[in-house]
Amino acid sequence: MLKMEDITKIYRTDFVETHALSKFNLHVASGEFVSIMGPSGSGKSTFLNIAGLLDEFEEGKYFLDGEEVSSLNDARRSKFRNEKIGFIFQGFNLIPDLNVFDNVDVPLRYRGFNKAERGQRIIESLETVGLGGRLQHFPSQLSGGQQQRVAIARALAGNPKLILADEPTGNLDSQMARQIMDLLEEINSSGTTIVMVSHDPQLAGRAHRQVHVLDGKLAETEVKATPINALTPQSV
């Protein structure tokens, strides 16, 4: 599903060269749930940006769903990203002036779905996250946990093969965090691949595999269990 080979990403200023990722290698098989952990500045955010086709890299190869993405032009990268990847952010990133239905609708409009198909996808994704009765509510009328569920529904509505979650429980209390993790596990059990960045060892431990990143490289990997619907991942 996701395979990075010797990825190197360098940020440069007039006087400083920072290697955010250095010969970074990772293979995430279809159907896996992988958590990424590491201290601040370790390269986690850079990894997510590259994985989500939001940033480019200097060296290496990145295969997503079998296609080597570095050769894609900007238009093809955008299309590939919109069709293959769903994003879940720590800050929810909901549009405050739009209701729940319209917030989930925004990325679907870019995909060119007709109104009827968009409506069906929106309702199905909101029912999946338990918010089928909140279509007309605005973000300010929802709890933090409910707003994150809307963000998850927005990601699900496009039927992505890969979900990238950046600290999806970071703004939630412990009870809501567990509920969001329950929901992510349920989504993963249906076959969607999930890669999640988290600072919480307890929540990260619920993934099939924990990948620890340090100084832009993989430091170690901990495997909890092999998912039934996943291919056997290559060593990292």
Q: Could you tell me the residue ranges of all domains in the chain? A: 2-94+159-223
Mean pLDDT on 9-31: 93
Query: Closest Cα to residue 187, out of 210, 222, 162, 166?
Result: 162
Q: Please give the Cα distance from 155 to 111 (Å, whole number).
A: 13
**Residue whose pair of structure tokens reads 């989930």 in the numeric block:** 104
Three-state secondary structure call for residue 221: strand
**Run of H or E residues at 164:** strand 162-166
Confidence of residue 5 (pLDDT cuts 50, 70, 90): very high
Euclidean distance between CA atoms 219 and 196, whole angstroms = 17
Distance CA 10, CA 23 (A): 11
* Joined tokens for residue 191: 């076959």
Element housing 177 (H / E): helix 174-189
Q: How far separated are the first and last CA of the chain, in Å rounded?
A: 14
| pLDDT bracket for residue 15 (50, 70, 90) | confident
Sign of the Cα torsion 110, 114, 115, 117 reads negative
| Model pLDDT, residue 190 | 94
Q: What is the third-level CATH fold of 2-94+159-223?
A: Rossmann fold (3.40.50)
Predicted confidence band of residue 44 (pLDDT cuts 50, 70, 90): very high
Mean pLDDT of the chain: 92
Closest to 148 in 3D by CA, of 163, 83, 109, 12: 163
Q: Flag whether pLDDT at 231 surpasses 60.
A: no
Tokens coding 147: 């707003």
Asked whether residue 226 carries a pLDDT value surpassing 60, the answer given is no
3-state secondary structure of 234: coil
Q: What angle do CA 192, 168, 218 make, to 5 degrees?
A: 75
| Under 8 Å between Cβ of 36 and 50 | no
Helices 115-128 and 100-111 cross at an angle (nearest 10°) of 130
% of the chain residues with pLDDT over 90? 82
**pLDDT, tens digit, for every residue of 106-126?**
999 988 899 999 999 999 999
Count other Cβ atoms within 10 Å, centred on residue 95: 11
Report the DSSP beta bridge partners of residue 61.
5
- The C-alpha atoms of residue 46 and residue 10 are separated, in whole angstroms, by 10
CB atoms within 10 A of CB 94: 22
